[in-house]
Amino acid sequence: MNLILFEPAELTAALPRSDPRAEHILKVLRRQIGDTFDVGLIDGPHGKATLAAVSADTLTLTFTWGPPPPPADSITLLLGLPRPQTARDILRDATTLGVGAIHFVATERSDPNYAAATLWTSGEWRRHCIAGAAQAFATRLPVVTHDRSLTSALAELTSATNFSASRDTASTAASTTLTRLALDNYEATAPLSKCHLLGDTSIVLALGPERGWGPADRAALRTHGFTLVGLGSRVLRSETAVIAALTLVRAKLGLL
């Protein structure tokens, strides 16, 4: 936990001693009354917290905040819905690496049962994004959706604001080019490493489910302007492919 994150509604209440963040403050950071430590407001600024009081049940904190954070990176992930454990890893690690949005979609070869997992129905998914942001010493969380098909998501790609790679319109306004790339082990026409990306480019990066894209998926992606690209001859796990692809894209955009 490199950065302790708080929801806005938590700032006016004492932190329960049972909260993992309280244990981290007392036992890992070893803070005592009057000590400060780094905090962040989710989708807001970094700051410093001061441990003002400690009781048997709660910690009382005061906060000082810095300026607003920069806009989210203009990278959107469009992912065939994977099994829940794989989705957990992707939510955490993609947030750590920095993306503006993650859209999990039903594809031709997705298992429809995955959409009903408690990861989604309980809201657990958000916890993994928060863990990823805390690891990265960042406050921005990606926009996350999980309730659409690939077809409907592609239809919204150029028009719907909730598909944007960022909550900040300034981020998308600053980007002059939208590049659409889909990873494919079988029909890629170029390696991702050879794609030319400019710093003012917004990226939509699509990866299929664990069974891969189906023929109808590929046809839909091509119809909506996606170029099929590859990561080499080795077959990677979905979560590994996400990390590898994001690392290449961020390097090409000058974000590393």
Pair 218, 116 in one domain:
yes
Give the residue with greater pLDDT, 164 vs 174.
164
Q: List, for residues 33-75, the tens digit of each pLDDT value.
A: 999 999 999 999 999 999 999 999 999 999 999 999 999 899 9
Pair 124, 233 in one domain:
yes
Q: Is 78 helix (H, G, I), strand (E, B) or coil?
A: strand
CB 164 within 8 A of CB 204: no
pLDDT at 177 (0 to 100): 78
Give the domain extent around 92.
75-252
Q: List, for residues 218-252, the tens digit of each pLDDT value.
A: 999 999 999 999 999 899 999 999 999 999 999 98
What CATH number is given to the structural domain containing 20? 2.40.240.20
Q: Which of 159, 205, 163 is nearest to 184 (CA)?
A: 205
Which pLDDT band, with edges at 50, 70 and 90, does 197 fall under? confident
Pair 43, 79 in one domain:
no
pLDDT at 172 (0 to 100): 42
Residue 139: DSSP 8-state:
-
Q: What is the pTM of this model?
A: 0.90
Pair 237, 121 in one domain:
yes
Residue 143: DSSP 8-state:
E
What CATH number is given to the structural domain containing 115? 3.40.1280.10
Helix, strand, coil percentages (3-state) for the chain, rounded to 5, are 35, 25, 40
Which pLDDT band, with edges at 50, 70 and 90, does 166 fall under? very low
Give the residue with greater pLDDT, 201 vs 107.
107
Is residue 18 a part of any domain in this protein?
A: yes
Q: List, for residues 129-160, the tens digit of each pLDDT value.
A: 999 999 999 999 999 999 999 999 999 886 65
Pair 34, 136 in one domain:
no
Q: How many domains does the chain have?
A: 2
Is residue 70 a part of any domain in this protein?
A: no
Pair 130, 234 in one domain:
yes
Rounded CA-CA distance 98/255 in Å is 9
Average pLDDT over residues 98-116: 95
Residue 32 has pLDDT above 70, yes or no: yes
